[in-house]
Amino acid sequence: MRPSRRTPVLAAFATFVFAWLLTRTSWLEAALKWAFPTEVSWLHPRADLVSLTVEHLAIVAISSGLTVLVGVPLGIWVTRSSGRDFRQLVAASVDLGQTFPPVAVLALAMPVLGFGFKPTIVALFLYGMFPVVSSTIAGLDSVPTSTLEAAKGMGMSPMQVLFRVELPLASRIIMSGIRTSVVINIGTATIGATIGTGGLGVPIIGGLATRNMAYVVEGALPAAVLAVLIDVLLGQVEHGFAVPLQEADSA
Amino acid sequence: MIHLDGVTKRYGDTVAVDDLTLDVAEGEVCVLIGPSGCGKTTTLRMINRLITPTSGRIMINGQDASELKAEELRRSLGYAIQSVGLFPHLDVAANIAVVPRLLGWDKPRLRGRARELLELVGLEPEQYMGKYPRQLSGGEAQRIGVARALAADPPVLLMDEPFGAVDPLNRGRLQGEFARIQRDLHKTVVFVTHDIDEAIRLADRIAIMRDGRLVQYDTPETILDNPVDHFVRDFVGSDRALKRLVRVPVRDVMDTAPPVARRSAGAKEMLAEVGRTRFVYLVDEQGRLTGWLDRAQLKGGCTVEDALSDADPAQVAVRPDASLKEALSRMLGLGFRSIAVVESDGRLVGQVTLGSVEGAMTESDEHQGARPAEHMAEYSAEDTSDDSVLESIASDDQGDCT
């Protein structure tokens, strides 16, 4: 979506409406009752939608936060002279992280880390790594060599070149990678419910287990809306990094 | 000021710069020139240590460059490159102020300096301070590249084809402005180019390089008059007489009292003036060139308004900073025997005639003991129009005009 001046207002309004609807589950129950009249129960009994959504967001925030904290520095490192030799290795590894199914990661991590939160965080952390690392590398690669040459020739230290020139110029591309990673994780985080992590996956997995389609929709619908909302919100942040709107460094 | 002592740079088996010894005196412009791959850019980049010499020593202001911290050294050497390399995320003011910021200047001083430098390179500060690089033309970007190199007032400027990426007209203008700035600032400049005209125009000394070696290091006059070998002779080219004109700015030889008439004064006054001089420049109330009137174009039955030509100063005039060679080539290109000289605001300040070009050539020829160029006489063509035509026009303003 191409952000316009009204997009932030619309996004804030949509977020508000979504939050409000989460607290008014009677609407949802009525709708699900109408859609699935043969079921006997329409809302998953474990927890209300608000706490499930908060749980879900916490899982995504922690895993994506770790991904960014590790992925961006990793991308920076392999574009420095000290890490250049590892560039292929790192690119291949994060590629593998994305192709390796998260469910398999859960299965492999569970014996070591047990049930619950931790294996899910590990699976999502690895799964979201690829867009972050590859966009960091692509963003830093996109900085023109003439700009780097000028920065160096004028007497900037390597750190100054990185923070004053490279990262500001790469920020938009890096941000788009982070956005992709987060949105993927919002959807993928639902599988955590298979090993008791909580979140919006609980009604989905519960519904699949008991063949209750109303539960599945109860979890899937907010997860999908959440993904779209976060995508738009992060898109706004990304747009804010557009050159030359960024004037923070101007004298 | 800058002293290179036996500097060599090797990449594996290839020798990029071979035992180069070169002295650049304080306040002089040293132009490094040669065919591509001759090591000129490598030499420049060894001075600010973007490239580390394999052996040899580089002294800057009596200090061994290798003993300084690379960043400190580079901040004391202004650096301008062909690709300019402006920072796209910073506005013009911030781009200019990069080095002063690294040196820790405060904000008001940074802005004041940016303003000052924009004026110096001929760009209106209020208009340009807040622009972003993508909003600039090639010539504007290169001007700002030069301003940025000058920002912290470094004693030394290193310039790697700084005017290489603009069209010839703009390049000539930038060279003229650079020469003017250098007259005031007296920086020690090392300037890389592959354009011999640029070298001859701007250099106090030219260092001609080939295969990493210094072939000849002399003043432009000496290089033109006494090339050391065939390579230099070929490199300089056969049109050495013309090349000498590159050294002469229009300002030095122009006739500051050209025939001129105000357009608003009306046909009568214009005709009176053209009757005296055959040719007259027309200016507006502010003295800006708007056109000219040539007696040859006044044929029977024409009105003055039909016969006068409108002038686009960018096309039919040169700046006082332009070289005489540029003025000559414009005159020949346009088929004119004289060309107007206008300031950047369009004001007519003089004219250059083929006669004055001839005079400048003769002077430099006599200087080296050669015969004056006689073929120039061919250009002083006969005056073909006569006064009766003028009278017929003055009395009859009607009729068709071909």
Nearest to A251 among B75, B84, B110 (CB): B110
Of all residues in chain B, the one with the smallest CA distance to A246 is B89
Q: Which helix (H) or strand (E) holds B207?
A: strand B205-210
Give yes or no for a contact between B283 and B290, defined as CB atoms under 8 angstroms apart.
Answer: yes
pLDDT in tens, A8-34: 788 888 888 888 888 877 778 888 888
Question: How many independent structural domains does chain B possess?
Answer: 2
Distance separating alpha carbons of residues B375 and A50, to the nearest angstrom: 96
B348 beta partners: B342
Mutate to test the interface with A, among B89, B117, B134 (most CBs of A within 10 A): B89
Asked, for residue B12, whether it belongs to a domain, the answer is yes
- What length is written for chain B? 402
State residue B355's pLDDT score: 85
State residue A1's pLDDT score: 45
B188 beta partners: B156
Interchain CB distance below 8 Å, B99 and A152: no
Angstroms from B139 CA to nearest CA on chain A? 17
Q: Are both B80 and B115 inside the same structural domain?
A: yes
Contacts of B88 in chain A (CB under 8 A): 147, 169, 243-244
Give yes or no for a contact between B232 and B216, defined as CB atoms under 8 angstroms apart.
Answer: yes
> Is B98 within 8 Å of chain A by CB?
yes
Q: Are both B207 and B326 inside the same structural domain?
A: no
Nearest to B97 among A243, A244, A251 (CB): A251
State residue B374's pLDDT score: 42
Q: What is the CATH number of the domain that holds B164?
A: 3.40.50.300
Asked, for residue B378, whether it belongs to a domain, the answer is yes
Structure tokens at A218: 């109860």
Q: Are both B232 and B256 inside the same structural domain?
A: no
- One-letter amino acid for residue B133 of the chain: P
- Sign of the Cα torsion B173, B95, B71, A79 reads negative
Can you list the alpha helix ranges (DSSP code H) found in B204-353?
A: 220-225, 230-236, 240-246, 250-253, 267-277, 304-307, 313-316, 324-334
Tell me A3's DSSP state: -
Give yes or no for a contact between B54 and B37, defined as CB atoms under 8 angstroms apart.
Answer: no
Q: Are both B307 and B209 inside the same structural domain?
A: no
Average pLDDT over residues A132-141: 94
State residue B379's pLDDT score: 40
Closest CA to B40 of B249, B253, B212, B270: B212
For domain A7-240, which CATH number applies: 3.40.225.10, 1.10.3720.10, 3.40.50.1220, 3.30.70.260?
1.10.3720.10
Q: Are both B63 and B85 inside the same structural domain?
A: yes
User: Residue B233: is its pLDDT beyond 50?
Assistant: yes
Per-residue H/E/C for B8-34: EEEECCEEEEEEEEEEECCCCEEEEEC
The 10 Å Cβ neighbour count of residue A129 is 25
Asked, for residue B334, whether it belongs to a domain, the answer is yes
Give yes or no for a contact between B61 and B221, defined as CB atoms under 8 angstroms apart.
Answer: no
State residue B115's pLDDT score: 94
Q: Are both B232 and B255 inside the same structural domain?
A: no
CA geometry: angle B48, B49, B52, nearest 5 deg = 150
Closest CA to B323 of B378, B248, B391: B248
User: Which phi and psi (to 5°) does residue B58 adopt?
Assistant: -120, 120
Percent share of chain B, pLDDT over 70: 89
The 10 Å Cβ neighbour count of residue B102 is 19
Q: Are both B121 and B266 inside the same structural domain?
A: no
User: Residue B272: is its pLDDT beyond 90?
Assistant: no
Question: At what angle are helices A117-127 and A87-99 packed, to 10 degrees?
Answer: 120
What does the radius of gyration of chain B's CA atoms come to, in whole angstroms? Answer: 25
Q: Are both B273 and B156 inside the same structural domain?
A: no
Q: Are both B177 and B29 inside the same structural domain?
A: yes
Task: Tell the burial category of B386 from Cβ atoms under 10 Å away from its Cβ (0-12, 13-18, 19+).
Answer: exposed
Average pLDDT over residues B316-333: 86
State residue B384's pLDDT score: 43
Distance separating alpha carbons of residues A139 and B397, to the nearest angstrom: 71
User: Residue B368: is its pLDDT beyond 60?
Assistant: no
pLDDT bucket at A244, cuts 50 / 70 / 90: low
Domain final residue pick, B177, B205, B238:
B238
Distance separating alpha carbons of residues B344 and B318, to the nearest angstrom: 9
User: Residue B365: is its pLDDT beyond 70?
Assistant: no
Average pLDDT over residues A34-41: 82
User: Residue A161: is its pLDDT beyond 90?
Assistant: yes
Give yes or no for a contact between A219 and A204, defined as CB atoms under 8 angstroms apart.
Answer: yes
Closest CA to A200 of A65, A56, A58: A56
CA geometry: angle B151, B153, B154, nearest 5 deg = 110
pLDDT in tens, B107-149: 999 999 999 999 988 899 999 999 999 999 888 999 999 999 9
Interchain CB distance below 8 Å, A244 and B134: yes
Give the domain extent around B330. 251-395
Average pLDDT over residues B293-301: 72
Q: For chain A, give every domain's residue range.
A: 7-240
State residue B370's pLDDT score: 42
Average pLDDT over residues B298-303: 66
Domain final residue pick, B238, B260, B279:
B238
Task: Tell the burial category of A83 from Cβ atoms under 10 Å away from its Cβ (0-12, 13-18, 19+).
Answer: middle
Q: Are both B215 and B267 inside the same structural domain?
A: no
Q: Are both B256 and B161 inside the same structural domain?
A: no
- One-letter amino acid for residue A23 of the chain: T
Q: Are both B195 and B262 inside the same structural domain?
A: no
Asked, for residue B401, whether it belongs to a domain, the answer is no
User: Residue B54: is its pLDDT beyond 70?
Assistant: yes
Tell me A69's DSSP state: H
Asked, for residue B400, whether it belongs to a domain, the answer is no
- One-letter amino acid for residue B231 of the chain: F
State residue B299's pLDDT score: 65
Structure tokens at B1: 């000021």
The highest-confidence range among A187-196, B86-95, B310-319, by mean pLDDT, is: B86-95
Contacts of A165 in chain B (CB under 8 A): 87
Can you list the alpha helix ranges (DSSP code H) found in B322-386?
A: 324-334, 354-367
Structure tokens at A22: 């989460």
Give yes or no for a contact between A29 and A36, defined as CB atoms under 8 angstroms apart.
Answer: no
Domain final residue pick, B238, B264, B284:
B238
Contacts of A250 in chain B (CB under 8 A): 90-91, 93-94
Structure tokens at B374: 């006689």
Asked, for residue B245, whether it belongs to a domain, the answer is no
Distance separating alpha carbons of residues B6 and B21, to the nearest angstrom: 5
Complex ipTM, two decimals? 0.74
User: Residue A166: is its pLDDT beyond 50?
Assistant: yes
Q: How far is residue B354 from each of residues A188, A228, B328, B375, measured CA to CA in Å?
A: 81, 74, 7, 12
